[in-house]
C-alpha cells in the first residue's frame, strides 16, 4: 500500500502532474494541486474530472506548499525553488512520479538515461525484447506517463495490462532521477554524460551524480568503455564502445564494420552482425545498438541461436525516432537530415562525427536556439573541420557563429529562410543537417515543432 506523508501536494499540472492526480484519486489519497502558471495545460480537464480537488494556480508561493508533508514534483519544476527548499527543511519529502511508481511496482525494470540517445535506446530495447516474445512496456520520459502503467483504467486496447507485463523499460531524465530513491532496475544504462541542463544544476558534477543515481548494488550497469565516472557499487559492469576492449564493440574488417560481443570466447570469436545490414545510421546510433543489446543480455536473455535471428530482424528494420538524425528527403543529390532533437552541444558533435566520413567538407549545418548557458566551444573543431557553410538562427545562433573561423557563416531570422538558402548553395552529394545544439524554446513550442517546420519547408523547397 502506498504511504505518503499528509498533506500531499502535486506541483505542476501538465501531463505528469495530471497522471499523478489520476493515480492518487484512484488510491483515495487526498491532495492539492499547485502550478505557477495561471492556465496550466490540464487545468480544465482536472477541474471537470476531479471537482473536489483544490487547484491553486499563478504561484508556488503558498502556505499549502510550505506546510506539505509530501510534495510530488513534476520534472519541469526546479527543485531549487525557494519554497521547495523551505518545505524540505520543514520535513517535507519531495518525490516524483517515478518514485511513486517504484514504491508500487512489482515488474522488473530496465532503466535508460544519458544526455543523448535515451529515447532511441528505450524504444529499441523494447522492440528487441518484444521480438523475443517478452511482454514489455516503455514509459517515463518517453510516451506513457509511468503511473498509467499501474492504472488499468487508463489503458487502451492496444496497450498491455500491467498484470501481463514481464518487463518495463523506463527512459529517465536527470530531473526524474533527482526525485527518485526507491527504483532498483535489474539492468540500466548511462549512455553518456555531457554538459546539459546546467541552468538546473549548480555544477556539472552534480548533474553527473544525478545521472549515475540510476545505478544500484543489484543493477547490471551498461556504460561506455571510455567513461571516467565514479560509479556506485553495482552487481556487474558491462562496457560498450568502438574499441575491442569493450564487452559489446564495433570492429572494422576490410572496410566494413561489425558488431562483436565479447561476453565469452564462443560469442566474441566472430562477428555478431554487419552494420551494413542495420537500418540506423551513424556512429552514435551504432553505440545505441550496442547499449540496447547489452540491456537485453543484462535482463537475462541470450543473444545467440534463434534469439539472434529475431534480434537481427529488428535491427534491420528499426530506423529510429522522428527528429533524431531523421532522413527527410534526397533531392538533387543532396541529403536533408532533421536532427531537431539535438538540443545540446554533444548531440550536434555526435551528428557531425557520424556524417563526416561520407560528407566532410560538404555539410551545411543549421544551428541555434537557446543554448541554456552551455559551453559552445566543443562545436568548434568539428564545424571547422567538416562544415561547408554554417547557418545560424535564434537567440544563441550568432554566439556559435562568432566562435568559428574559416567557414562561411550566414545568419537568418527564420528556419524557412535557412532552408531556402541551403537549397540554393548545397553542393552536389552534399548534406543539409538541422542539428541545432540548442533548445528550441526561444522560437518554437518544442523540438518536435521545430523539426516539423524544417521538414515541411524542405519538402516545399527542395522536393
Active site amino acids? 118, 141, 197
Q: What are phi and psi of 366, to 5 degrees?
A: -105, 120
Instruction: Pull the grid cell for residue 198.
Output: 546546467
Bridge partners of 327, per DSSP, are 337
Strand duo 248-253 + 256-261: pairing: antiparallel
Q: Give the C-alpha separation, 173 to 73, whole Å.
A: 14
Q: Is 290 exposed, middle or buried (0-12, 13-18, 19+ CB in 10 A)?
A: buried
Q: Which residues are within 8 A (CB) of 198 and not within 5 positions of it... i.e. 6 or more apart?
A: 204, 207, 372, 373, 374
Q: The cell 527542395 sits on which residue? A: 462
Which triple of cell numbers denotes residue 3?
A: 504511504
Beta strands in 262-395 (DSSP E): 273-274, 326-331, 334-338, 363-367, 387-392
Instruction: Compute the 3-state secondary structure of the chain and give helix, strand, coil in percent, each to the nearest 5.
Output: 35, 20, 40
Helix (H) or strand (E) holding 279: none
What are the residues whose beta carbons fall under 8 Å from the beta carbon of 279, sequence distance 6 or more?
315, 316, 317, 318, 319, 320
Q: Do 340 and 407 meet the contact criterion of CB atoms below 8 Å apart? A: no
412 neighbors 431 (Cβ within 8 angstroms): no
Cell of 118: 535515451
Q: Are 359 and 386 in contact (CB under 8 A)?
A: yes
Dist CA 168 CA 424 (whole Å): 47
Amino acid at each position: 500500500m502506498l504511504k505518503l506523508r499528509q498533506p500531499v501536494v502535486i506541483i505542476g499540472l501538465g501531463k505528469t502532474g495530471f497522471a499523478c492526480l489520476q493515480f492518487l484519486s484512484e488510491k483515495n489519497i487526498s491532495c492539492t494541486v499547485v502550478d505557477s502558471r495561471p492556465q496550466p495545460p490540464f487545468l480544465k480537464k482536472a477541474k471537470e474530472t476531479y471537482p473536489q480537488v483544490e487547484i491553486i494556480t499563478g504561484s508556488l508561493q503558498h502556505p499549502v506548499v510550505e506546510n506539505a508533508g509530501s510534495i510530488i514534483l513534476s520534472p519541469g519544476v526546479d527543485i531549487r525553488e525557494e519554497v521547495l527548499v523551505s518545505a524540505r527543511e520543514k520535513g517535507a519529502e519531495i518525490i516524483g512520479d517515478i518514485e511513486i511508481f517504484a514504491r508500487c511496482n512489482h515488474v522488473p525494470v530496465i532503466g535508460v538515461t544519458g544526455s543523448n540517445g535515451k529515447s532511441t535506446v528505450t524504444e529499441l530495447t523494447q522492440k528487441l525484447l518484444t521480438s523475443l516474445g517478452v511482454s514489455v512496456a516503455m514509459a517515463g520520459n518517453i510516451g506513457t506517463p509511468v503511473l498509467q502503467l499501474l492504472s488499468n483504467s487508463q489503458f487502451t486496447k492496444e496497450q498491455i495490462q500491467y498484470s501481463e507485463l514481464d518487463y518495463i523499460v523506463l527512459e529517465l531524465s536527470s530531473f526524474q532521477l533527482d526525485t527518485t530513491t526507491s527504483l532498483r532496475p535489474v539492468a540500466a544504462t548511462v549512455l553518456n554524460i555531457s554538459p546539459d541542463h546546467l541552468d538546473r544544476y549548480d555544477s556539472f558534477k552534480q548533474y553527473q551524480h544525478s545521472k549515475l543515481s540510476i545505478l544500484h548494488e543489484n543493477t547490471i550497469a551498461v556504460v561506455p568503455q571510455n567513461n571516467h565516472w565514479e560509479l556506485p557499487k553495482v552487481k556487474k559492469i558491462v562496457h560498450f564502445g568502438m574499441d575491442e576492449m569493450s564487452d559489446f564493440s564495433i570492429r572494422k574488417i576490410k572496410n566494413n564494420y561489425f558488431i562483436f560481443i565479447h561476453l565469452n570466447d564462443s560469442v566474441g570469436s566472430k562477428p555478431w552482425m554487419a552494420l551494413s545490414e542495420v537500418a540506423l545510421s551513424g556512429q552514435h546510433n551504432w553505440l545505441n545498438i550496442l547499449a540496447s543489446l547489452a540491456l537485453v543480455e543484462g535482463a537475462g536473455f541470450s543473444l545467440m541461436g534463434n534469439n539472434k535471428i529475431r534480434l537481427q530482424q529488428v535491427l534491420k528494420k528499426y530506423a529510429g525516432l522522428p527528429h533524431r538524425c531523421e532522413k527527410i528527403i534526397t533531392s538533387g543529390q543532396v541529403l536533408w537530415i532533421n536532427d531537431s532533437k539535438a538540443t545540446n552541444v554533444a548531440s550536434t558533435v555526435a551528428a557531425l562525427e557520424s556524417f563526416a566520413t561520407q560528407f566532410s567538407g560538404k555539410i551545411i549545418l543549421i544551428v541555434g536556439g537557446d543554448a541554456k548557458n552551455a559551453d559552445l566551444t566543443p562545436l568548434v573543431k568539428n564545424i571547422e573541420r567538416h562544415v561547408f557553410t554554417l547557418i545560424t538562427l535564434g537567440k544563441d545562433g550568432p554566439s556559435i557563429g562568432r566562435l568559428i573561423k574559416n567557414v562561411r557563416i550566414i545568419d537568418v531570422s527564420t528556419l524557412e529562410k535557412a532552408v531556402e538558402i541551403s537549397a540554393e548553395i548545397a553542393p552536389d552529394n552534399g548534406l543539409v543537417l538541422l542539428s541545432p545544439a540548442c533548445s528550441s524554446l526561444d522560437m518554437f513550442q518544442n523540438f518536435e515543432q521545430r523539426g516539423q517546420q524544417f521538414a515541411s519547408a524542405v519538402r516545399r523547397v527542395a522536393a
